[in-house]
């Protein structure tokens, strides 16, 4: 008889989630006992390390990583690292154990009120209504993590794994295409802005892709700043055009960006602050443009022109459309 566990392993294999980062507890025993040989288990002794390793793996491989956490204690301890993964746009599928579904209504020991425990940091959270919905939820979590570039949570009661699974429909697409091309006509306002700039600058964040951004910066021959409090470098810091980290208060930010009439933020908010200081973010006369694939980032950024699109695709196309600037005097 095929089980939910068998079907879940098939989903994990099909999505490349064959390395499991974990600090397990008793609610994960039915899942992890006699783990198949083609699944690799990576043990850490603290949930921050578990999620941290998975975040590094996801960033390094540019693909989702799999995390298994132990009910309330594991998820609660991991929240800080989950928040960091969200900021760094690291796609994670996080499987959280839960008490046995058959008596969870009585709240036995280790029952977790898990769906809101990580706050708004997960990009998606689900506790499937039936055991047979778990494999589909894992498949959907993979898509959610990739699309939203962040951690997606699936909460699984411990008895679900051994439930029968036969002829069930997975509530997720087998393949999802995300066309990244940006029409030249849509880019025309940004091309016009950058081509006419006297002294452009770039602010790079966690959502930037190094190779296309380096090519664009070299075409523009402009400095590239790192966003403040960015845990993930958006631009190589050994590049001669790297200009350092932006200040995290408005007064010093205005001063730093004052020489530039156009500032392009790539994969970074406009602009991350810490201590409140009154006044505008940039000096009068400085135009700000934004390219990000994070809807929330685009929606909240006070930019003159914003693109909700792939930063890699936009930067690559801008490099083709823009003329090479003369070297600064």
Predicted confidence (pLDDT) per residue in 289-323, tens digit: 999 888 878 888 888 888 888 999 999 999 999 99
Query: Based on the domain organization, do 104 and 200 belong to the same domain?
Result: no
Q: Checking DSSP bridges between strand 224-226 and strand 200-204, what pairing results, if any?
A: parallel
Question: Do 151 and 189 belong to one domain?
Answer: no
* Three-state secondary structure call for residue 76: helix
Q: Is residue 326 part of a domain?
A: no
- Write the pLDDT tens digit of every residue in 106-152: 989 988 888 899 999 999 999 999 999 999 999 999 999 998 899 99
Same domain assignment for residues 141 and 198: no
| pLDDT above 90 (res 222) | yes
Q: What is the percentage of the chain residues whose pLDDT exceeds 90? A: 74
Tens-digit pLDDT profile for residues 233-252? 899 999 999 999 999 999 99
Burial of 230 (0-12, 13-18, 19+ CB in 10 A): buried
Sign of CA dihedral 299, 300, 304, 307: negative
With the C-alpha atoms ordered 60, 64, 68, 71, is the resulting torsion angle positive or negative?
positive
Same domain, 34 and 67: yes
Q: Is the pLDDT of residue 216 over 90?
A: yes
User: Can you give the residue range of the structural domain that contains 48?
Assistant: 4-162
Question: To 10 degrees, what angle do helices 134-148 and 4-14 make?
Answer: 30
In 10 A of CB 211, how many CB atoms? 11
Q: Are residues 62 and 189 in the same domain?
A: no
Q: Where are the alpha helices (DSSP H) in 107-262?
A: 134-148, 184-195, 210-220, 250-257
- Expressed in angstroms, the distance from the first to the final Cα of the chain is 74
Domain count, the chain: 2
Query: Encoding tokens for residue 25?
Result: 């507890």
HEC per residue, 21-70:
EECCCHHHHHHHCCCCCCCEEEECCCHHHHHHHHHHHHHHHCCCEEEEEC
Strand partners, 154: 95, 126
Which residue in 296, 329, 309, 314 sits closest to 202, CA to CA?
A: 314
pLDDT attached to residue 230: 85
**Residue 189 half-sphere exposure toward CB, CA atoms < 13 A:** 11
Shared domain for 231 and 130, answered yes or no, is: no
Which residues does residue 151 pair with via DSSP β-bridges, in sequence order?
A: 92
Q: What is the pLDDT of residue 217?
A: 96
Residue 179 confidence class, pLDDT cut points 50, 70, 90: low
As a whole number of angstroms, the distance between CA 134 and CA 156 comes to 7
The answer to the question of residue 191 being in a domain is yes
- Indicate which CATH number applies to the domain containing 211: 3.40.50.1220
Domain-embedded: residue 327: no
Q: What pLDDT shows up at residue 174?
A: 73
Q: What is the pTM of this model?
A: 0.77
What is the average pLDDT score of the chain?
A: 92
Q: Please state, in angstroms and rounded to a whole number, the distance separating the CA atoms of residues 205 and 225.
A: 9
Please check whether residue 176 lies inside any domain of the structure.
Answer: no
Res 329 pLDDT > 70: no
* Same domain? 154 vs 267: no
Q: Are residues 216 and 309 in the same domain?
A: yes
Question: Domain with 24 in it: what CATH number?
Answer: 3.40.50.970
Tokens matching residue 238: 């050994």
Determine the pLDDT at residue 328.
Answer: 65
């Amino acid at each position: 008889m095929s089980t939910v566990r068998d079907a879940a392993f098939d989903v994990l294999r099909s999505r490349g989630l064959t390395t499991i980062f974990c600090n397990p507890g008793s609610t994960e025993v039915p899942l992890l006992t006699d783990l198949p040989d083609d699944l690799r288990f990576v043990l850490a002794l603290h949930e921050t390390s578990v999620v941290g390793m998975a975040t590094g793996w996801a960033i390094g491989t540019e693909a989702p990583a799999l995390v298994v956490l132990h009910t309330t204690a594991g998820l609660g301890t991991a929240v800080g690292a989950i928040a960091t993964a969200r900021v760094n746009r690291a796609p994670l599928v996080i499987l959280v154990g839960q008490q046995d579904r058959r008596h969870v209504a009585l709240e036995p020991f280790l029952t977790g009120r898990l769906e809101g425990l990580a706050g708004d940091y997960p990009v998606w959270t689900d506790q499937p209504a039936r055991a047979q919905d778990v494999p589909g939820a894992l498949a959907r979590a993979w898509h959610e993590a990739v699309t939203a570039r962040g951690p997606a949570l699936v909460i699984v009661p411990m008895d679900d794994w051994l439930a029968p699974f036969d002829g069930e429909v997975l509530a997720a697409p087998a393949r999802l295409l995300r066309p990244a091309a940006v029409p030249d006509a849509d880019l025309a306002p940004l091309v016009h802005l950058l081509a006419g700039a006297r002294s452009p600058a770039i602010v790079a964040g966690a959502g930037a892709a190094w190779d296309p951004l380096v090519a664009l910066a070299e075409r523009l021959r402009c400095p590239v700043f790192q966003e403040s409090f960015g845990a993930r470098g958006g631009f190589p810091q050994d590049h001669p055009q790297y200009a350092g980290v932006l200040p995290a208060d408005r007064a010093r930010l205005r001063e730093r960006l004052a020489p530039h009439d156009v500032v392009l933020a790539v994969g970074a908010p406009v602009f991350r602050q810490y201590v409140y200081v009154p006044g505008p973010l940039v000096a009068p006369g400085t135009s700000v443009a934004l390219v990000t694939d994070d809807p929330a980032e685009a929606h909240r950024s006070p930019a003159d022109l914003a693109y909700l699109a792939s930063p890699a695709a936009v930067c690559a196309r801008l490099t083709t459309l823009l003329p090479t600037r003369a070297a600064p005097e």
